[in-house]
Structure 1
Amino acid sequence: MIKIQRLNLDNSWFLQINELRLLIDPWLEGTEVDFFSWFNTQWHRTKPLSFQDVPEFDAVLITQKYPDHFHKETLKKLQPQKVIAPSSIQKALKKILPEAEIVGMSKAEPELEFLGTTFTFLPTSRKIDPIYDAFMLESEGERVFLATHGFHPNTEQISFMKKGPGCEVLITPFNEYRLPALLGGTVSPGIENVKELVDILKPKHVFATHDEDKHATGLVSKFAKITWAKSEKELRQISWLADRYQNLNHYNQITLS
């Protein structure tokens, strides 16, 4: 069984896969600041789900180390008992959540079992920032692939992604977001990368993420070049996407299987 729900209209999700109830990258209030406010400050244009309406959860998954994924103020309010995250932020998480169990994942420790679900960490091939990794979640023959900034797998990772049962859900950005190389280069690779992942995974359902037109100030917003995703009608006319595309533009929880 898979249930899914947006917690904001950007990149925060609730995901239930059989017994496991998971919050992904929760950011439910305030701003996200990269390094300095003058460099990049963003905040939601659409109000997120309220804290009181967040579904009960067993753990939080942080997919990336950046503040729109690792949002400290939201985590302090949620006070999760267990957080799964890249090992690069393990110490920072323990500092703000001293009572929580913090599980770091890395190339050296790429697998974790929790409540009947296997988490597999797929590191990017990039060696310098920005570094955007991906995760595979598997439980009782159902698979969810999370690539919250897109993902270009290497040969070994492609072999892993093609193994086992088919993929039920792919969550990845449709927008293309690019900066000059000195400011980070490609932040989201756009629809062509969605096709790359669909060709490998053959998912039943594809959800766009990181797609809110947020308020933004600072240097990054002045240089960002964004190509927004096509309309729902146009996306459904793309042969390889068509019936796979799920337009989850609300906060209602849906059941997929």
Structure 2
Amino acid sequence: MAHEKKASSPETFHVSGLDEWRQALHNTGRRPLLTHLNADTTWLIQIPRPTQISRPPQVRTHFNILIDPWLQGPQSDVAWWFSTQWHVVASSVDTLAKLNEIIYQLEQPGANRETSSEGGHNMIDVVVISHEFTDHCHQATLQELPKSTPVIATDIASDLIRSWGHFDTVVTAPGLEKDAPWTSLKHVCSCLPDWLAIGRVVTPGNSLYYHSAILIAFDLCDDGEQQRDLGEAVIYSPHGISGEDLAFVPSSGVKTLALLHGLHDVSIWMTKQLNLGALNGIRAVEASRARYWIATHDEIKKGGGFIAPLLRRVQYTPQQAIEYERKRLQDECDLPTYTFKELGSGDGLILR
């Protein structure tokens, strides 16, 4: 499917421009890349392997993390008649095989279709699933991946994925406890290198982890650059998370590089708050001290079933969130300093 190539700055790229993406991947600062694969909440994080770790020439330069993949087809929760949704905006890649082929060509410029798709090169190093709901844990999309692909998922999602019998390795994401260093999340899965940790932020009183977050933390620095174990993190919270629940994260020894948190406030009429939206997001940015606030899970999808007419959505902008927070604080303190980015389907960003 053809996609319009968008104008870019040196910080951004689009998946339709392979040369542009490759140039971003091998940027001189060796920084992670974040790519929005659809208009909703499927993401690819490409993290450069630390330079102090020696590797044979055949070992790839980046570690690729796929988050909450749902590329095409419907998603239903409970039953089709209860809630079914479809993407309105086409995903930038329509299959994981195509994504795998593109990533292979990014790292191997001379590779062709036959080499990448038939040569057995699985370029997805790990999949992360934040929730069991099928717009995050989409069975048809996930089962496009080889059985050998490791999966790290939250509690209920990991049990669900194991029940399919498709993947060889499914690990339940550990929780980062208050006052614990981010390095306590290391070594929970042999699929992860020792400079990378993946877990979830513990949210007391939120037993189903609906308003929670995934923490992806890493240390890319040479030993001489800064103290070891002082890492960076991407925090992913598609439904939103309270700022109070993120307040301890800086003390865990990480600088939050990016917080992925939506702008839209979504609820079920008179029943349940779903996505917390921008008015909560700005507090989460402040608590986490994130350098980037990146919108996620804001696609207005085509819906059907019992739930669809009960959904209520308020679309906020970052500026509205700033104005609301100023009024709430009555100018008693400074608002957080951050860079806001809204990435469309296929847009990518170098996380400086």
TM over 0.5: yes
Residue 153 of structure 1 and its aligned partner are, at CA, apart by 5.4
Of residues 81, 89, 92, the one that matches 1:38 is 81
Amino acid of the structure 2 residue aligned with 1:26: P
CA distance in 1, matches of 2:311, 2:215: 29
Percent identity over the alignment? 22
Structure with higher strand content: 1
CA distance in 2, matches of 1:226, 1:203: 26
1:154-169 matched pairs, under 5 angstroms: 154=244, 158-169=247-258
Residue 237 of structure 1 and its aligned partner are, at CA, apart by 7.7
1:189-208 matched pairs, under 5 angstroms: 189-208=276-295
CA distance in 1, matches of 2:134, 2:345: 23
Question: Would the alpha carbon gap of residues 8 and 241 (structure 1) be closer, same or farther in structure 2, given more than 3 Å must change?
Answer: farther
3-state SS, counterpart of residue 242 of structure 2: coil
3-state SS, counterpart of residue 8 of structure 1: coil
3-state SS, counterpart of residue 168 of structure 1: strand
Question: Would the alpha carbon gap of residues 197 and 111 (structure 1) be closer, same or farther in structure 2, given more than 3 Å must change?
Answer: same
Of residues 200, 211, 220, the one that matches 1:132 is 211
Equivalent residue, structure 2, for 1:249: 344
Equivalent residue, structure 1, for 2:162: 94
2:254 equivalent to 1:148 = no
More off after superposition, 57-66 vs 127-136: 127-136
Amino acid of the structure 2 residue aligned with 1:149: H
Question: Would the alpha carbon gap of residues 137 and 222 (structure 1) be closer, same or farther in structure 2, given more than 3 Å must change?
Answer: same
More off after superposition, 243-252 vs 2-11: 243-252
Q: Runs of 5+ in structure 2 lacking a partner?
A: 1-30, 50-62, 104-122, 178-183, 220-230, 327-334
Conservation of the 8 A alpha-carbon contact between 2:243 and 2:285: no
Residue 250 of structure 1 and its aligned partner are, at CA, apart by 3.6
Of residues 9, 23, 45, the one that matches 2:66 is 23
3-state SS, counterpart of residue 227 of structure 1: strand
Equivalent residue, structure 2, for 1:111: 185
CA distance in 2, matches of 1:162, 1:188: 27
Equivalent residue, structure 1, for 2:151: 83
More off after superposition, 164-173 vs 240-249: 240-249
Question: Would the alpha carbon gap of residues 3 and 72 (structure 1) be closer, same or farther in structure 2, given more than 3 Å must change?
Answer: same
CA distance in 2, matches of 1:161, 1:193: 18
3-state SS, counterpart of residue 199 of structure 1: helix
Residue 127 of structure 1 and its aligned partner are, at CA, apart by 4.9
Amino acid of the structure 2 residue aligned with 1:53: L
Structure with higher Rg: it is: 2
Equivalent residue, structure 2, for 1:209: 296
CA distance in 1, matches of 2:291, 2:339: 6
Normalised by the size of structure 1, how large is the TM-score?
A: 0.86
3-state SS, counterpart of residue 253 of structure 1: strand
Conservation of the 8 A alpha-carbon contact between 1:18 and 1:139: no
Aligned length: 252
Question: Would the alpha carbon gap of residues 179 and 130 (structure 1) be closer, same or farther in structure 2, given more than 3 Å must change?
Answer: farther
Equivalent residue, structure 2, for 1:67: 134
Normalised by the size of structure 2, how large is the TM-score?
A: 0.65
Q: Runs of 5+ in structure 1 lacking a partner?
A: none
Residue 92 of structure 1 and its aligned partner are, at CA, apart by 2.4
CA distance in 1, matches of 2:244, 2:287: 12
